[in-house]
Structure 1
């Protein structure tokens, strides 16, 4: 009799810890997709075969560590007329089954709910191939994700690590500054050409000044 009571007690404790961890993760994660983009985070469509293979890493294409961009990799998925009902049923199943330890569909829904706060967020995720639109408008997709987690308790944190890494990355100053430089000065080929031309003109002027001074002395 005693071991059975101990088992139940430990199960309740474990469930309580998962509840606290899940609520803490989602309360700390306060960034939408467009806000993350402004903070220097790049979104990328991930593994097509695993919906839950969500990860955050630094882009290795940059030579210097300080210039590396954060890359939030999320597997692509299609949103159509049946998505809301399908996800609701899966979330309800996970919430009602005590034996399920990792409520990954619930966590995935909470992540998308956090990332999508406006149709602009949907448009950004569509542009990089994470969301595949089967509804016809970004407004309809926004409503799907805006309502999917209502009256659902965030009692799981399957994506705790990548969400924590994203939050820590967004607290840094350099990624925001670098993202602003890319938007304001390197957003189009004409802007880049203008900057190169201005730099070339400055270099010529500097060389001419140095040559004049050397000739004088």
Structure 2
């Protein structure tokens, strides 16, 4: 099976099953609880994108820079360990050696790692991060050693905002990569229009037509 998507091949868009979205929609609780809830939502959305995939699919690079689903899961796991571990003096015990690498080792799963290994480490990193969030107040102070010295001093509030942004960004990457792999799109929370496979093909053809017409207009200008 070849997971590479030819330029002229448009995968069938398959919306994720309803109910796969995670966070409770109620806007209640403290500011820390709200930030934590959204972090959990974005984590779960990212992990959902590797469900049902074979090892080869989950590892397959679909961009010129090598973006792949399992690499995104592994990268986010490492980011969580750093920002909600080391930054607040709570390092993860027995952390893997690749966490110390700046050579991109966190952006793909090596041959020595299985998809199950990466997902298990993601859950372990999330549990460690959650324990830090629960233990500290929003104004608790830490230091990010890989940031410029003049702005290394941070609070838990700042880190939660930063991490929420980071995880959401990578969950968005994963959404596109999964759609390119097998056409599965969205996360079942109602944010994807309800269209049949035929409707999606027609919609994409409409967008292609608009792009072509806009390009012709530019040429005439």
State the TM-score, normalized to the length of structure 2. Answer: 0.24
Q: Which has the higher contact order (CA 8 A, sep 6+)?
A: 2
Q: Higher helix fraction: Structure 1 or Structure 2?
A: 1
State the TM-score, normalized to the length of structure 1. Answer: 0.24
